[in-house]
Structure 1
Amino acid sequence: MQNIEPSFQWENKYNASQDHKSPFYGRKYSETIYEHDIYGYYIHPLWDEIESETLYLKILFTDYQLKFSIIELFGEWNDTLHNDIMFFKRKVIDLLVEQGIKHFILFGENIFNFHGTFEDDYYAEWFEEVENGWIAALNFPEFVEKEWTKYHLDYYINFGGNLYLENWRTLQPEQIFKGIDLLLSRRLNP
C-alpha cells in the first residue's frame, strides 16, 4: 500500500497545501518518512489524513470560479466503526462548501472497502448544502457502489452507469468537470 500515490498530474495548476482556502493549506510532506498506516500497513506520505483510522484523501484540484473540487480517496471507507463520513464532512467538505464549492468529484478506485450504516445525516446535510450542485463518485469498485445502494446513499451521491472515466488522469480538470456537469444535468433534469 505504501506504493500507491495520489495523482499529481495537475500539481503545476493546483496544490492544496499552497491554497490558503484549502483545508490542507500549509501542510508539509515528506517523500521518505512514512507515518500513517491502515491496519498496520504504511501508506504513501502524500495522502492527507483527516483523523480517520482508515480513510485518506488528496484534493487534486479546486476551482473557486466554477465552484468544483476533485478529490481522490484512499483506503477503507468505514462509517460503521469509524464514522468516516463525519471526518470527511467536517474536516474537508464543510471548509470547501464555506468557500462556495458546490460540485464535488470523488475518485475512488483506491477505496478497498466500504462499511455503511443506515444513519445518513452527514450525507443528507452535504446534499442539502450543495443545492444547485452535485456530488459525483467516479471509478469506485462495483462492490462499494452496491453497498452504497444498500444503504441508500444513491439518494445523495451520483455514481454508476456512465460515471466512469478510465482515462481521467489524461484529461484536464475543467474537462472532467464540464463533462460530468453536462451528464448530471441530463440525468437530474431529464
Structure 2
Amino acid sequence: MHTLEPYFNWRHLYVASEDPQSPFFGYQNSEVHFTDQIYNFLIHPQWDNIDSETLFLKVIYVDYTDGFAVIELMGEWNDLLHNDIMTLKRGVIELMIEEGITKYILICENLLNFHADLDADDYYDEWQDELEDGWIAVLNLRDHVLVEMSKFGIDQYLVMGGTLNDISWRTRHPKQLFEKIDELVMKRLSI
C-alpha cells in the first residue's frame, strides 16, 4: 500500500496545501518519511490525514467558480468502528461547503472496503441537504464496496455505479471531468 500515491498530474493546476480556502492549507506532507498507516500497512506520505484510523484522502482539485471539488480517497471507509462519515463531514466537507463547494467528485478506486453503521445516515443526509442544487458523485468503486454501500442505502445520498464506475478520469482536464460527471448526474437525477 505504500506505493499507492494520490494523483499528482494536476498539481500544476491546484495544490490544497497552498490554497488559503482549503481545509488543508499549510498541511505538510513528508516527501520521504512514511508517517501514516492503515492497520499494519504503511501508506504513501502524500495522502492527507483527516484524523481517521483507516480513511485518508487528497483534495486534488477545487474550482470555486463552478463550486466543485475532486477528492481522491484511500483506505477503508469505516462508519461502524470509526464513524468516518462524521470525521469527513465535520473536518473537511463542512469547511468546503462554507467556501461554496456544492458538487463533489469522490475518486474511490483506492477505497478498499466500506463498513456501514446503521446510525450514521444522519451525516449523509445532512451533507446532501446542505448542498442545495449540488451532488456527490462517486467514481470507480470496487464492486464489493459498491455492493456494500448500496446494501445499506448509501446510494440514496451519493450518486454511484453504472457509468460512474468506469470513468477514465486521468485523461481529462478537471473541468472536462466535472462537465462529464455533471451531465451524467443531472441525467440520473432527472429520471
TM-score category (smaller protein) = over 0.9
Residue 144 (structure 2) aligns with: 143
Residue 74 (structure 2) aligns with: 74
Q: Give the ranges of 4+ consecutive aligned residues of structure 1 lying more than 3 Å apart after TM superposition.
A: none
Q: Greater CA deviation, 10-19 or 141-150?
A: 141-150
CA contact 2:103–2:134 (8 Å) conserved in 1? yes
Specify the code of the residue in structure 2 equivalent to 1:63. Answer: D
Offset at 1:167? 2.3
Distance 2:116 2:10 in 1: 32
Instruction: Please list, as runs of the form range in 1=range in 2, the aligned pairs for 1:175-186 lying within 5 A after superposition.
Output: 175-186=176-187
CA contact 2:16–2:61 (8 Å) conserved in 1? yes
Residue 188 (structure 2) aligns with: 187
Specify the code of the residue in structure 1 equivalent to 2:47. Answer: W
TM-score for the superposition, normalised by structure 2: 0.97
Aligned residues: 190
Distance 1:166 1:159 in 2: 11
Distance 1:167 1:43 in 2: 24
Residue 97 (structure 2) aligns with: 97
2:133 aligned with 1:159, yes or no? no
Distance 1:82 1:29 in 2: 23
Percent identity between matched residues is 49
SS of 1:94's partner is helix
Offset at 1:26? 0.5
Specify the code of the residue in structure 2 equivalent to 1:141. Answer: R
Q: 1:164/1:150 Cα in 2 relative to 1: closer, same or farther (>3 Å)?
A: closer
Specify the code of the residue in structure 1 equivalent to 2:81. Answer: L
Offset at 1:165? 4.0
CA contact 2:139–2:167 (8 Å) conserved in 1? no
What is the Cα-based RMSD across aligned positions, in Å?
Answer: 0.9
Offset at 1:6? 0.3
SS of 1:182's partner is helix
Which protein has the bigger helix share?
Answer: 2
Distance 2:21 2:93 in 1: 12
Residue 130 (structure 1) aligns with: 131
Distance 1:151 1:162 in 2: 21
Offset at 1:179? 0.6
Offset at 1:186? 1.2
In the alignment, structure 1 segments of 5+ residues that lack a partner are: none
Offset at 1:164? 2.8
SS of 2:107's partner is strand
